[in-house]
């Protein structure tokens, strides 16, 4: 830790020079906290609780679409599981969401080259008439190309966006891909189209379409909209090379303005700083095609496994650790927004938040989003995580979808970035199943979460950007 002290000293000096608040702490872990953290890491690398949680959730509940009876069953299941693990104050915080579910989906090329295409409806797709609608396909390379098309040029047609997504370690290809998925129906409707097809988001070559949400107000978007599997997008493109292609698209949906959902919450009660919260979260809902193992059963197993290790220590941590299994993330971050509404008055008690929602790949980088004065605390966490193969990230962590609202409200967040190179091979497809989780990588995640969560809970360090009002250091 000597080097950390040195860096912290330089930072403190810089803070004085530039006139920033001079409450920078010379950070170090007490021998007791360091020893307990080491023990937590060792225990986490043998974790059974977290992995069992994902196995049981994905086996006994399976898919759990936001607002569906399956998600309701998942809440009951999770409540029971968390109570059995002896967490404190286990509860559901209810809210309602606009509900959407597919009831049928198919697509078929008609005419001389008649054949079926593999599709799946996007969340929020409108229904077609029973028996399907029939229209000519107009292909676009990108969403921008569709947006640039002449007004009414797609009257009575189906727009097809063939944009590809590429693999990256940090998943950065997903943002662009999501714009296509989210925006296709609106852009196509503006040009007079009757439906929209996209090449599946995702990076796998299999004949499996990838579902996901689209822009909508309430339960429904602008048009019937579906994703073609990658090979089917290729097939459609080859057919279009040979001449006009006409397709029958048949989608059935059910929807409701208000369906029950909820956040499942469990805590490890703190001691002398009990009213201060370290939040670690995941989302309990999933898409309906797979069993939601990587997205996001794994995240829930990781945070539950980490919290359980801390709960089992001989002494309570100083701050309260709050595990939040958010509801209805996939269908529009409803759980995150409900949490912010329901906890708006005590967001200033949230001292740190983190979320695991990127599968179960090894954590390769640890980013923080702390106040300048707390950079030395970030350095301590990074040093502790180095032996787990985690490299040092910057101080620009986004946190994750469900805790974005907390970050924007000023809650410090960390991003333990997982290796996402194969995440989008499975994500939102029928192939997102329990066998895709590598237990060793999963346990490394549990170790990282247990370590930084315990340090944040036990040191009492203040990570915020504004000057602390009540906090001391360790």
* Residue 110 DSSP SS3: strand
Angle formed at CA 448 by CA 446 and CA 450, multiple of 5 degrees: 65
Residue 176 or 471 with smaller CB distance to Zn ion:
176
Residue 376 or 429 with smaller CB distance to Zn ion:
429
Residue 163 or 402 with smaller CB distance to Zn ion:
402
Q: How far is the CB of 358 from Zn ion (least distance, A)?
A: 8
Q: What share of the chain is helix, strand, coil (3-state, %, to 5)?
A: 40, 25, 35
Which sign, positive or negative, has the C-alpha torsion 369, 372, 377, 378? positive
Asked whether 49 and 306 are in contact (CB, 8 A), the reply is no
Residue 296 or 425 with smaller CB distance to Zn ion:
296
Q: How far is the CB of 128 from Zn ion (least distance, A)?
A: 25
Q: How far is the CB of 416 from Zn ion (least distance, A)?
A: 15
Cα distance between residue 91 and residue 78, in whole Å: 10
Residue 89's contacts (CB-CB under 8 Å, 6 or more residues apart) are 265, 266, 267, 269
Cα distance between residue 302 and residue 360, in whole Å: 8
| C-alpha separations of 246 from 122, 192, 431 in Å | 21, 17, 30
Q: How far is the CB of 211 from Zn ion (least distance, A)?
A: 9
Residue 28 or 296 with smaller CB distance to Zn ion:
296
Residue 43 or 295 with smaller CB distance to Zn ion:
295
Q: How far is the CB of 329 from Zn ion (least distance, A)?
A: 6
Residue 43 or 357 with smaller CB distance to Zn ion:
357
Q: How far is the CB of 296 from Zn ion (least distance, A)?
A: 4
Closest CA to 231 of 205, 212, 203: 205
- Residues in contact with Zn ion by CB under 5 A are 295-296, 330, 357
Cα distance between residue 135 and residue 247, in whole Å: 6
Q: How far is the CB of 409 from Zn ion (least distance, A)?
A: 21
Q: How far is the CB of 260 from Zn ion (least distance, A)?
A: 20
Closest CA to 244 of 82, 109, 400: 109
Residue 273 or 280 with smaller CB distance to Zn ion:
280
Asked whether 198 and 163 are in contact (CB, 8 A), the reply is yes
């Amino acid at each position: 830790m000597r080097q950390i002290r040195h860096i912290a000293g330089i930072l403190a000096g810089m803070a004085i020079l530039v006139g920033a608040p001079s409450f920078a702490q010379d950070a170090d872990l007490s021998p007791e906290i360091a020893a307990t953290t080491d023990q937590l890491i060792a225990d986490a690398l043998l974790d059974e609780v977290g992995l069992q949680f994902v196995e049981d959730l994905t086996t006994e509940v399976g898919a759990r679409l936001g607002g569906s009876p399956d998600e309701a069953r998942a809440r009951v299941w999770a409540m029971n599981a968390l109570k059995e693990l002896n967490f404190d104050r286990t509860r559901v915080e209810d809210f309602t969401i606009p509900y959407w579910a597919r009831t049928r989906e198919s697509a078929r090329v008609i005419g001389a080259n008649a054949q079926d295409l593999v599709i799946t409806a996007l969340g929020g797709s409108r229904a077609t008439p029973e028996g399907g609608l029939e229209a000519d396909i107009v292909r676009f390379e990108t969403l921008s190309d569709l947006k640039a098309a002449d007004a009414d040029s797609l009257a009575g047609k189906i727009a097809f966006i063939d944009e590809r997504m590429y693999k990256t370690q940090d998943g950065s290809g997903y943002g662009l891909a999501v714009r296509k998925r989210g925006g296709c129906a609106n852009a196509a409707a503006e040009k007079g189209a009757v439906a929209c097809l996209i090449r599946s988001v995702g990076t796998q070559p299999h004949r499996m379409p990838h579902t996901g949400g689209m822009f909508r107000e309430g339960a429904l978007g602008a048009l019937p909209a579906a994703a073609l599997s990658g090979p089917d997008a290729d097939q459609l493109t080859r057919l279009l090379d040979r001449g006009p292609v006409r397709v029958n698209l048949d989608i059935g949906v059910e929807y409701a303005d208000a369906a029950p959902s909820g956040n499942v919450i469990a805590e490890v009660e703190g001691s002398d700083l009990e009213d201060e919260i370290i939040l670690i979260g995941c989302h309990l809902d999933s898409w309906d095609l797979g069993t939601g193992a990587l997205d996001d059963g794994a995240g829930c197993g990781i945070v539950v496994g980490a919290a359980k290790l801390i709960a089992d220590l001989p002494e309570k941590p100083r701050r309260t650790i709050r595990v939040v299994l958010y509801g209805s993330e996939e269908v529009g971050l409803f759980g995150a927004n409900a949490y912010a509404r329901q906890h708006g008055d005590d967001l200033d008690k949230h001292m740190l938040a983190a979320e695991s929602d990127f599968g179960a790949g090894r954590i390769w980088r640890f980013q923080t989003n702390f106040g300048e004065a707390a950079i030395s605390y970030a350095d301590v966490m990074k040093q502790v995580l180095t032996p787990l193969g985690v490299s040092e990230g910057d101080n620009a962590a986004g946190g994750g979808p469900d805790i974005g609202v907390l970050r924007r409200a000023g809650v410090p967040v960390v991003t333990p970035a997982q290796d996402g190179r194969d995440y989008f091979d499975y994500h939102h497809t029928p192939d997102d199943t329990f066998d895709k989780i590598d237990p060793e990588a999963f346990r490394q995640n549990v170790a990282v979460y247990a370590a930084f969560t315990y340090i944040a809970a036990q040191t009492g360090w203040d990570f915020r950007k504004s000057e602390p009002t009540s906090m001391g250091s360790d």
